[in-house]
Amino acid sequence: MDDDSLDPRQPESVAAVLKVFAILQSLADRSETGISDLSVRLAMPKATVYRFLQTMKSLGYVRRESDSERYGLTMKLFELGCKAMQYPDLIEVCKPHMQTISERIGETIHLGTLIDSEIIYVHKIDSRHILGMYSRIGRRAPLHCTAIGKVLMAWENAVLRDAVLAGAEFKRFRDNTICELPDFLQELERTRAQGFGEDREEFDEHIRCVAVPLFGVHGTPVAGMSVSFPTFRFTDAIGAETVALLREASRDISRQLGCSQSPLDEAAPPKRR
């Protein structure tokens, strides 16, 4: 946090607000943190940190671990974040389709939206198998090596897409990660042409993903929905079946979000092999 943001010369009410958000941000960066650690990291007296934590705990935004003196954030903050989305009903609209796909395919399903130059998972259904993709709601992931990131960028307005990608870090995670912008732009053309995005072991080892975009008013992408497979359970046939289910879900969800004609209909469906 910027040193000037906690300037003691600030009016008392403003300084208090800044301290609250400094604590919240610290808890978001490192969950289950103790008062002493927060005091050192934020250069605040322990008594001040304790007082603010107790207030936030009484309001339901912070929890204290029952067997320790460590604190973490609650889902109440996530609920607030969902209400800040352009389409606050997005998760509820998507849940039935995600459940249907889960029952048919049985793998991990994610719903993700854009935040800064990354994606954030806002809802998920876990795989029914013991071995599946590890993730959590609220986790951020890069745009350039995730199937959701690819579909969000592939259908985005070129001006906004370029602005978002200017802030993205093309970090290498695996041997297959696309790390150069020209290569990534070519991948976006491929994604749009085939009507779905793919992650071919580019982010998590031994994980394959397929995804489709979800569209809002004016046909702009507002979220992506993906299914993740361990590579040993992924085949071309199951991939094609999953994409077909995702595309069907995207059309209905997009219609409910105000998109009368899905841009996905412009792309050819994947062929079964």
Tens-digit pLDDT profile for the chain (273 aa)? 444 445 555 566 788 888 888 888 888 877 678 899 998 989 899 899 899 999 988 888 888 887 778 888 887 777 676 655 566 688 999 999 999 999 999 999 999 999 888 999 999 999 888 766 667 788 889 999 999 999 999 999 999 999 999 989 999 999 999 999 999 999 999 999 999 999 999 999 999 999 999 999 888 999 999 999 999 999 999 999 999 999 999 999 999 998 988 899 875 555 444
Domain positions in the chain are 3-74, 85-266
Q: Are 214 and 223 in contact (CB under 8 A)?
A: yes
Q: Check residue 11 and give its pLDDT.
A: 61
Is residue 137 classed exposed, middle or buried when 0-12, 13-18 and 19+ CB atoms within 10 A define those classes? middle
Instruction: Note the helical H segments in the chain.
Output: 12-29, 35-42, 46-59, 75-83, 90-105, 147-154, 158-166, 181-194, 236-256
Q: Check residue 86 and give its pLDDT.
A: 62
Q: Check residue 265 and give its pLDDT.
A: 84
The span from the CA of 231 to the CA of 235, in Å, is: 8
Is CATH 3.40.50.10480 what the domain over 3-74 is classified as, yes or no? no
Domain at 85-266, CATH from 3.30.565.10, 3.30.450.40, 3.10.560.10, 3.20.20.80: 3.30.450.40
The span from the CA of 229 to the CA of 37, in Å, is: 39
Those residues with Cβ within 8 angstroms of residue 178's Cβ, 6 or more apart along the chain or in another chain: 144, 145, 170, 184, 187, 202
Q: Check residue 4 and give its pLDDT.
A: 47
Q: What is the pTM of this model?
A: 0.71
Q: Which of 243, 247, 225 is nearest to 235 (CA)?
A: 243
Kindly report the number of other CB atoms within 10 A of residue 131's CB atom. Answer: 9
Q: Check residue 82 and give its pLDDT.
A: 62
Q: Are 196 and 210 in contact (CB under 8 A)?
A: yes
Q: Check residue 74 and give its pLDDT.
A: 83
The span from the CA of 53 to the CA of 87, in Å, is: 31
Q: Is 170 helix (H, G, I), strand (E, B) or coil?
A: coil
